[in-house]
Structure 1
Amino acid sequence: MYPTPLYAPAGHGAFTDVYEPAEDSFLLMDALEKDAERLKGSRPSVCLEVGSGSGVISAFLASVVGPGALYLCTDVNPAAAQCTLQTARCNHLQLQPVITDLVQCLLPRLNGKVDVLVFNPPYVVTPSDEVNENQKRSVMLHSQNHGLFYLVTVSENHPIVDVLRDSGLNGELCLTRQAGHERLSILRFSKSSLSTTGSQEPS
């Protein structure tokens, strides 16, 4: 079992405008823990979190995968970048914040070079432009290393599996949990034809 990392006080003080970890964050960490052996076995070189906020997700991923990977954390909010740095220091980890809108400044340099991609957007029904943004992110995945993409959604977002299949990604439901009036899900996309035991198709 991997403990929740210490994290900077998101939502308070200097980090008032930084998203504080909530149910969606903890579900995503549970999904990464569930896939711990798969993640470690893939020996990723580059891990990218889009919209890192407090940095707790990347810190957790780093605790699972280990120090051999580069951990990039993007956020458009400079306070989130500082918060991520503080979280890294709290856990004696090396995280690399990048201030940018989604992955804008990383393309096309990182196309096909990211081994693990993590994104926790605001969990609202995905409009067509958000689907297009996920397609842009998906091209960054490293196909030869069976790149993995973890996406937080609500049940209404499951059609995204069909859309991203056209981009060459296999999607499956990794984990799901009720949170208030919404059912949160973690979708796992891979450029590998292999699937993880215990996974299921979104319904």
Structure 2
Amino acid sequence: METPYQNHINKTDFDHVYEPAEDSFLLIDALEKDLPYLKAKKPTFCLEVGSGSGVVITAFGMAFPNSFCFCTDINFKACEMSLSTALQNKVLLDTINMDLVSCFINNKFDIVIFNPPYVVTEPAECGGCGIEASWAGGEKGREVTDRLLDIIPKILSPDGTFYLLLIKENIPLEVIQIMSKYGFKSETIITRQVRNEQQIVLKFHR
């Protein structure tokens, strides 16, 4: 998978939108590692929740030009940047400014991707719609993630796959147990130690 062209973005724009970092590129690496599986799936409808700069969903769209790609973000500036990144890389993308997937209930996506706000913070720091929404995760760094886990069974197709990035402090085993109760199997695609963070990308499927 190619890394999308990003030189169109002004550095000052990252005062308002999460700048692609090690976690963003780990997620792309995980998708690349799982490319044979994804190609066999031939996904049609693909969604990234919380797209930020759009680098991940654009990389996916570059690898799967026949897929219909969508992304959401609670930060309107992130939606604008995601669309710009997609256009610069000739990827067709629909962006929707919303909280998680509130408008997509009962829509069936083949692939859902989420790099959540995973930093452990005070619960009061959650709920914003600016750049803080990209990192403030509340208790266990999981308050936003857990909300999405409850919705995944409703928006994922029966044969769909959900990719989720977490860190050790998020207690990934608890997430695996939650998804197991919904009937999902789990796999660890990739792990990486980045300074003081142990990052992991999990794959869930029925």
Q: What residue in structure 1 maps to residue 87 of structure 2?
A: 89
Q: What residue in structure 1 maps to residue 103 of structure 2?
A: 105
TM-score by length of 1: 0.84
Q: Deviations over 1:138-171 (max 9, x none)?
A: 421111xx21100000123312001110011111
Structure with greater helix share of residues: 2
Q: What residue in structure 2 maps to residue 151 of structure 1?
A: 164
Q: What residue in structure 2 maps to residue 78 of structure 1?
A: 76
Q: Deviations over 1:28-62 (max 9, x none)?
A: 00000001111111011100000001100001111
How far the C-alpha of 1:3 sits from its partner, in A, is: 2.4
Structure 2, unaligned runs of 5 or more: 120-139
2:129 is aligned with 1:123: no
Give the distance between the partners of 1:54 and 1:119, measured in 2 at CA. 13
Amino acid corresponding to residue 166 of structure 2 in structure 1: T
How far the C-alpha of 1:9 sits from its partner, in A, is: 5.8
**Number of aligned residue pairs:** 184
How far the C-alpha of 1:81 sits from its partner, in A, is: 1.1
Match of 2:189 among 174, 179, 182: 174
Secondary structure of residue in 2 paired with 1:24: helix
TM-aligned CA distance change 1:187 to 1:58, over 3 Å: same
TM-aligned CA distance change 1:175 to 1:3, over 3 Å: same
Give the distance between the partners of 1:38 and 1:7, measured in 2 at CA. 27
TM-aligned CA distance change 1:97 to 1:72, over 3 Å: same
Give the distance between the partners of 1:91 and 1:163, measured in 2 at CA. 37
Structure 1, unaligned runs of 5 or more: 192-203
State which drifts further: 96-105 or 11-20: 11-20
Q: What residue in structure 1 maps to residue 131 of structure 2?
A: none
Q: Which runs of 4+ in 1 moved over 3 A?
A: 8-11, 126-130
Give the distance between the partners of 2:199 and 2:161, measured in 1 at CA. 19
Q: What residue in structure 2 maps to residue 30 of structure 1?
A: 29
Give the distance between the partners of 1:17 and 1:49, measured in 2 at CA. 19
CA RMSD, Structure 1 to Structure 2 (Å): 1.8
